Chains A and B, each alone.
Chain A
């Protein structure tokens, strides 16, 4: 070793080794940087913001339908442009909630006949309640266009259909079999006796519900069995209110 150091060629070897060490360290640092590279994507924080506006706009469609169906079930009449009024307020409030972001939201309400989940629906101001039939439903439909000038977002479109369907399958003795479905004909699970109300049309009396049980059916997927305290004589009205507050009244037969 001492011989190598004292040798002139040995000095070259030392320098070469040091140079190689520098190169290895440099490559190591580059590799470390590549692994721990922090990629800053400035649009990421806006994704949740857009998601917030989209989520709450959809929530407002459901809330408006809940308000509309609740008034209709309670008083028999309601404001037909509930959804329009709420969306107009939301349009103004959104720009106040996010000042400096340049947020503006436009909406369009379904105002003609559409076929939704196999049912022909004639909307008025984006709402429709087709009740007092064995197959009844409440529906709301709106399309939105979101602009956010701070990030150069224009015309981001999204729509929402809030839907609740109640079908009375059969009435036998004190038992009523019904199905409750939401958007895309998805069965709603977890409904309890507080969510249902049964009344006899002839006497206009509300029947006491003892229990609500459910079972899975090949055709309907989820069927609710409403057990009343007394034998049910038709015609009857069954009211359901889901977790979003949307109500539907179906009549049998």
Chain B
């Protein structure tokens, strides 16, 4: 009889733990994964833009520095693939700006895509409205 009671009590504990585990939603939950990555992507691009670095890298076609900046700002396990477009839709960057495995973006279930716009860039002898669209894809490796 006592053995049955102990077994029943143990089952109650196991069920309680299992139920709590189902309810608890960790930050890396697949449910919010894409939204999390989107938020991360927007924030990273916005931070770079606010510091005046994003426009400088994009309009001077300094892709290696842009890639390095993104690698520093994004967590290590987050892979990215950035493409820069002219306003007519043609690609600006002749070399791919990415980190991680490109295959991850085609195989991963949770890939976030973020679009970010830049209006132009002015220097001491040139100031022209010339918009660029940045499309940043993010996935967890």
Q: For the complex, is B94 an interface residue (Cβ under 8 Å from A)?
A: no
Which residues between 172 and 201 of chain A lie within 8 Å of chain B, taking CB atoms? 194-195
How far is B123's CA from A63's CA once the two chains are assembled, in angstroms? Answer: 9
Interfacial residues of chain B within 108-125, with CB under 8 A of chain A in the complex:
115-125
Q: Mark B96-116, 1 if CB is under 8 A from A, else 0.
A: 000000000000000000011
As a 0/1 sequence over residues 1 to 41 of chain B, the CB contacts with chain A under 8 angstroms (1 = contact) are: 11001100100110011001001111101001001001100
Q: Please tell me if A45 contacts chain B, counting CB pairs below 8 Å.
A: yes
The verdict on A29 contacting B32 (CB below 8 Å), with A55-B49, A245-B124 known, is no
Q: How far is the CB of A7 from chain B (nearest CB, A)?
A: 11
- Is B93 an interface residue when CB atoms closer than 8 A count as contact? no
* Given contacts A14-B5, A40-B35, A48-B43, A97 and B20 within 8 Å (CB-CB): no
Counting residue pairs across A and B whose Cβ atoms lie within 8 Å, the total is: 130
Q: How many chain A residues have a CB neighbour from B under 8 Å?
A: 49
Chain A, Cβ-Cβ closest to B25:
A38
The contact of A56 among B29, B32, B119, B128, by CB within 8 Å, is B119
Given contacts A38-B29, A97-B133, contact A22 B5 (CB under 8 A): no
Q: Is A26 a contact partner of B131 (Cβ separation < 8 A)?
A: no
| Interface-lining segment among A85-93, A111-119, A127-135, A229-237 | A85-93
Given the known inter-chain contacts A25-B17, A48-B39, please indicate yes or no for A63 contacting B29, CB distance below 8 A: no
Q: Mark B70-98, 1 if CB is under 8 A from A, else 0.
A: 00000000000000000100000000000
* CB-CB nearest in chain A for B23: A33
Q: 16 pairs across A/B with beta carbons < 8 Å?
A: A11-B5, A18-B12, A22-B16, A25-B13, A25-B17, A26-B16, A45-B35, A45-B38, A52-B46, A55-B49, A63-B120, A67-B129, A86-B119, A93-B119, A94-B117, A97-B131
* Given contact pairs A32-B24, A45-B42, A62-B122, a sample of 13 additional A-B residue pairs in the complex whose CB atoms are under 8 Å apart: A29-B24, A48-B42, A48-B45, A48-B46, A51-B50, A63-B120, A63-B121, A63-B129, A66-B122, A67-B127, A98-B115, A194-B124, A245-B124
Chain B residues within 8 Å of A, Cβ to Cβ: 1-2, 5-6, 9, 12-13, 16-17, 20, 23-27, 29, 32, 35, 38-39, 42-43, 45-46, 49-50, 55, 87, 115-129, 131, 133
Pairs of residues from A and B, 6 with the lowest C-beta to C-beta distance, nearest first: A48-B42, A245-B122, A66-B127, A18-B9, A97-B117, A29-B20
